[in-house]
Structure 1
Amino acid sequence: MTMREGKGEADVHLRAAMTVIECAGGHLEMGRAHGEQAREAVRRALEVWRESTARSSAELVTGSPLLGTVRRLLPGLADELRGIAEGAGVPFADVVACNWMDEAWWMRRRQLRRHGCSVVGAGGCLAQNMDLPAFMDGSQLILRLRPQDGPEQLVLTSAGMLALTGVNAAGVAVCVNTLGMLNGDPHGLPVAAVIRGVLAQRDRAAATAFLRGVPHASGQHYAVGDGGGIDSLECSAGGAVPVALRRGRLVHTNHALASGDLDAGALRELSERGSVRDSQARLRFLEASWRAEGTAAEAEELLADDTVPICVPGVPEWPIRTFGSVSYGLGEAPRARFRLGLPSVAAWVEPGW
C-alpha cells in the first residue's frame, strides 16, 4: 500500500500534488490503510469539522439509527469506518458522524446549503462539480480501493470519508446532487454508504436495482452510468423516482425534477435563502450549454464556469465552494479524471487503474 504523487501545473499558486491513497484487502484493512496513509489529513479534517459544526458527534452516532442501518445492510462499510479511526488514531464516533454529512444537513435544519453540485452526462461521459462547505477545502483525496469482494474503484473523497463520488473498473460511475427539499429518514442508508454500495456493482442495471432496493436516509439525486447509458434517480425516504433524460442528455442540480416526496418546511427555507433559485439558474445554464453529443472535454470546460456560477468561488459571503470536480469516461475501458479544488488552484489529473 503506497501513497503516490503526481505534479500539477508549474505555477506556485496551483496545488501541485495529487494524493492517491492505495487501499486493498478486506474492509477493515482498507479503512486502516486510508487512516494510516492520510493520518494527518484525517486529523486536520476532523479538527476543522469539529470547529465548524454545532452539534456533537455523539448525537449523530448514538442519537440516530444510521450506523445500525449500515451494519445491517453493508456491514463491511461499518468495519471500514472503524479501520479509518484506528489507522488515523481518532475517535470512531467522530469518523462516523463526519461521514453522515448529508444527513447532518437535514437533521440540523439551519445548516441547509445555499449552493450545491452540478451534474452533466451524455453518451460516454459523466461529470460533476462537488460543492461543499469551504472549511473542507484542503482535505481532498483520491482513494484507489481494491476490495476482496468487488471491482477496483477510484473515489473522490474528503480525508476520513467513505466516498463523495467515484467510478469502478467494471465501468460503473456515480455522481450525486443533494436534494434538501426531499424527506429524510433516520432509519435509511446514509449517502456516503449508498455511493459505495453503487460502486460495488458490476453494471448499471445492478447499481440501479441497488438504489431502488435500499432505504434512503437523505434526499439525493444519483446519476449512474456505464457504457450502455445513464440512469437518473431522485431518492428520499419515499423511495427512488426515475428522472427522464432531457433531449438525450443528463443535467441536474439541487432541486427535485421528478420526486414529489417534499419536506414543505425544508423547501420553504431553501426557497427563502435563494437556494432553489440558484439551482434553477444553474439548471437553465446547463440545459442551454450541454449537448447530447457533449464530450468529456466540453464537460470539463463547462464545470469551470464561474458566471452562474457552476463553479462556486471561495468568497466570504458564500460558505460553500467547489471542493473538486470529476470527469468519468464510460465504457469497457473507463477513465477517471479529478480536479482537487477550484480551477485557479488545481489542475485535472488522471490517476489511471
Structure 2
Amino acid sequence: MTVVECAGTGRARGRAHGEQARDLIHTTLARWRDGTSAHSRSHLAATGLRAAVEAAVPDLAEEMRGIAEAAGVPFAEILAYNFMDQQWWVHREHLELGCSVLGRADIDGVFLAQNMDLPDFMDGSQIVLRVRPEAGPEALVLTSAGMIGLTGINAAGIAVCVNALGMLRHNRAGLPVAAAIRGALTATSRTEAVEFLHGISHASGQHYAVADARGFHGVECSSASVIASCLPGSPVLLHTNHPLANNDIDPDAEQELQRQGRIADSRVRLDFLETSVRSVRDRTAAERLLGDRTAPLCVIPGHDRRTQTFGAVAFEFGTTAPTARFCLGLPNHQPWIEPGWKTPPLHNEPSA
C-alpha cells in the first residue's frame, strides 16, 4: 500500500483511511505502544487537545473518529497517536529533534523540500493520503497509518512543511501540529494558509513553511506568539530545529535539548544547508541533498538515539500543476514516487 484514497466528509475520509490501512494501523499502534508509556498515551487523549481540534477543525476530529471506527481501535488511541508532538514535549518521550527544510525561489520556479525525522518505531507505517474533501482542494499528504498528516501539498498549489521547535513554549489546550497542517492545506492561497496559522492557538513549538508558485512564508509558532521567520520575497527558505525569530523559550526544554546535543545538531544541519543551497537550483538537486549523510541531513538510528528519517517530500511550482514527490523512507535508499492529481489542479493566482 502506498496511496490511501480518502474522499467525502471528515467521517467518510477517516473510514476510508481506516478500512484501507486497517492491518497497517494495527501493526503501527502495536509498535507505538511498545515504544511509549501507557501513562502518556492515556493522558494525551484526556487533555484539551481534543477540544481544540473539535473547535478549530471539527471535520478533522470526525476524520480521526472515522479512522478509529473503520480500523477497529479505540478512538482515544487514535487521538493520542495523532498528538505525537505533544507526547514528545509534555511527557519528554523521544525528545530527539529532526527534520530539515529547504526551499528556493528564482526565475526558474519554486521548490520546497524536507526530510521528516521521527521515532524509529514509526518506520514501515509510511503512506500518502490523497484527500478529496466535499469542498476545497485535493491534497496529497505524507503520513503514518492512522495519523491525519505530517506534511503535504494541495491542488491549489499550497504546500506546508514543518519542523519541531522544542525550545519554544507549549500549550496543552492548543491545536496539535497534525491538525494545524491539515487545516492550512484547506487554503486556496498562501495568504489564507498563513492567516490560519496566525489565528490558532498552537499546542507545540513549530516552524511552518508555506509555499506557492511565488515563493515562501515561514512562521515560528509557540503557545504565546507566531513570528515570521521568512517573509514573502525571500529567495531561500532554510530551517532545522532551533528558532530563528521566536523568543518565547521554555528554559527547561532548552536546557534538556542543550544537554542532549540536539540544538548543536540542529545548528550543524542549518550551517550545512546554508553552504549547500547555492548549488541546489531545482527539485531534483534538493532530493539528492536530502539524502546527504555528511552533516547528516538523513538520520539513521544508533545506539544513542532512536530517531530516523521517516520520509521526505519535494514539491515544485511553476506555470503548470504543482508537482508532488514523496520518498517513503530514507532518501537514496527508497524510491521517490509521484502520485499525481485525480482532480484538475486549481489555477488560482498565487498570493503575493
TM-score range, shorter chain: over 0.9
> What is the aligned residue count?
334
1:122 CA displacement: 1.0
Superposition pairs of residues 181-330 of structure 1, within 5 angstroms: 181-244=167-230, 248-291=235-278, 294-330=281-317
Using structure 1 for the length normalisation, give the TM-score: 0.92
1:111 corresponds to: 94
Q: Quick one: structure 1 residues 156 and 202, their matched pair in 2 at CA, closer, same or farther if it must change by over 3 Å?
A: same
TM-superposed CA distance for 1:238, in Å, is: 1.3
TM-score, normalised to structure 2's length? 0.92
Residue in 2 that maps onto 1:42: 25
Name stretches of at least 5 consecutive residues in structure 2 with no aligned partner: 342-352
Letter in 2 for 1:53: T
Q: Does the CA-based 8 Å contact 1:248-1:292 persist in structure 2?
A: no
Q: Structure 1 pair 266/102, CA: closer, same or farther in 2 (3 Å)? A: same
Distance in 2 between the 1:95 and 1:247 partners? 38
Structure-2 residue corresponding to 1:137: 123
Q: Percent identity?
A: 53
Q: Secondary structure at the match of 2:308?
A: strand
Q: Alignment partner of 2:127: what SS? A: strand
Cα distance in 2, alignment partners of residues 181 and 129 from structure 1: 20
Q: State the AA in 1 paired with 2:52.
A: T
1:180, distance to aligned residue in structure 2 (A): 0.3
User: C-alpha separation between the residues in 2 aligned to 1:171 and 1:159?
Assistant: 25
Stretches of structure 1 that go unaligned for 5 or more consecutive residues are 1-17
Q: 1:61 is matched by which residue type in structure 2?
A: A
Quick check: 1:140–1:323 contact (8 Å CA) kept in 2?
A: yes
Amino acid paired to 2:314: S
Structure 2 residue 19 is the aligned partner of structure 1 residue 66: no
What is the identity, as a one-letter code, of the residue corresponding to 1:191?
V
Whichever residue aligns with residue 45 of structure 2, its letter is V
Q: CA deviation at 1:60?
A: 0.7
Q: Deviations over 1:77-114 (max 9, x none)?
A: 1100000001111111000000000111110125321x
Matches within 5 A, 1:64-103: 64-103=47-86
C-alpha distance in structure 1 between counterparts of 2:252 and 2:280, whole Å? 39
Amino acid at match of 1:234: E
The range that moved more, 283-292 or 137-146, is 283-292
For residue 121 of structure 1, what is the aligned residue in structure 2? 103
